[in-house]
């Protein structure tokens, strides 16, 4: 079993059919290479607790119609080992309450539907970069009190953020 998934068909098969395992450490999916929409269940990531790298992106941004990622309701679990999270156009309103962002170094979710990332205070001591550009539903930022290494925050065009 491979620890890194990047072939669009492999990623689709693992995520759409809930076939992830604890050996998966990284997923990189170019949505412009997908032939069909991807449906995630609430517990899609539950079987993959060791993911450190998760990237959903579109290399043909604005050039052609790409497949979409849909989430059935909310995500109930998310890997706490995540160090790199990039999910352009993320469809969820917030990350799961159980998600621990302590190990995150980069969080990039431009063009997403998030209204807030999470509730409460997270120990963001490792976070260096955060990109939430064009998140038009974003109304609340996380508490950055413990984000002592934060270097870059991108909030361009977050029109509801006050």
Query: Are residues 40 and 69 in contact, defined by beta-carbon separation less than 8 angstroms?
Result: yes
CATH architecture of 1-162: Alpha-Beta Horseshoe (3.80)
Task: Return the pLDDT at 63.
Answer: 46
User: In terms of pLDDT, which residue wins out, 121 or 25?
Assistant: 25
DSSP calls for 86-149: EETT---SS--TT---TT-SEEE-TT---S-S-SS----TT--EEE-TT-TT---PPP-TT-TT
- Residue-wise pLDDT tens digits, 39-49: 898 888 999 99
| Confidence band for 3, pLDDT divided at 50, 70 and 90 | very high
- Residue-wise pLDDT tens digits, 53-79: 999 988 865 445 666 788 877 777 888
């Amino acid at each position: 079993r491979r620890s890194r998934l990047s072939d669009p068909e492999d990623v689709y098969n693992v995520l759409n059919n809930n076939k992830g395992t604890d050996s998966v450490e990284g997923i990189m999916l170019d949505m412009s290479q997908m032939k069909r929409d991807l449906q995630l269940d609430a517990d899609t990531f539950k079987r993959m607790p060791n993911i450190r790298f998760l990237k959903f992106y579109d290399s043909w941004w604005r050039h052609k119609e790409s497949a979409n990622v849909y989430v059935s309701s909310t995500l109930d679990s998310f890997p706490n080992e995540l160090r790199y999270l990039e999910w352009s156009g993320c469809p969820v309103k917030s990350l799961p309450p159980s998600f621990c962002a302590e190990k995150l170094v980069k969080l990039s979710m431009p063009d997403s539907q998030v209204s807030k990332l999470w509730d409460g205070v997270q120990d963001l001591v490792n976070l260096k970069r955060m990109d939430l550009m064009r998140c038009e539903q974003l109304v609340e930022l996380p508490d950055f009190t413990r984000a002592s290494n934060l270097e870059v925050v991108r909030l361009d065009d977050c029109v509801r953020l006050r």
